[in-house]
Amino acid sequence: MHATILFGHGSRDPLWRQPIDTIAQRMRELNPDGHVRCAFLELTTPDLPSVAAELTGIGVQRLTIVPMFLGVGRHAREDLPVLVKDLQATYPALQIELRPSVGEDPRVIQMLAQLSLDAV
């Protein structure tokens, strides 16, 4: 069984997470049999270890983590790989794929450029 975790920074503002939750919901609509969850680094729950525990508890054997960052700062470069390494130590049988941040995907860059041009 496979699952995807959309990973964000987190915020004290409860409305901040709405776009990530909306993406997760859209993923569920596109693939009703898929497992998708959101997890956050700080200030917002749930955190990555909690979500990984939940997913492994229901039998997930493969996990894809998608960092929902436009920029690739310290959290994406340093903090998240450490969290993933800790998960791998906790769940050695779990196959974990850490994807690049969404802001590095040429399709996202193209879409944002087009949206910005549309606003002109």
pLDDT digit string, tens, across residues 7-55: 999 999 999 999 999 999 999 999 999 999 999 999 999 999 999 999 9
* Averaged pLDDT, 76-102: 94
Q: pLDDT tens digits, residue range 42-88? A: 999 999 999 999 999 999 999 999 999 998 878 778 899 999 999 99
2-118, which class in CATH?
alpha beta
Residue 111 has pLDDT above 80, yes or no: yes
Helix runs in 63-104, H state only: 74, 80-90
Which string of b and e fits 6-39 if b means at least 16 CB within 10 Å?
A: bbbbbeeeeeebeebeebbeebeeeeeeebbbbb
Q: Which of 73, 99, 93, 96 is nearest to 84 (CA)?
A: 96
Q: How far apart are alpha carbons 66 and 9 in whole angstroms?
A: 12
Where in the chain are the domains? 2-118
pLDDT at 119: 72
The identity of residue 1, as a single letter, is: M
**Ramachandran category for residue 10: left, alpha or beta (phi over 0 → left; psi -120 to 50 → alpha):** left
pTM for the model stands at 0.93
pLDDT at 11: 94
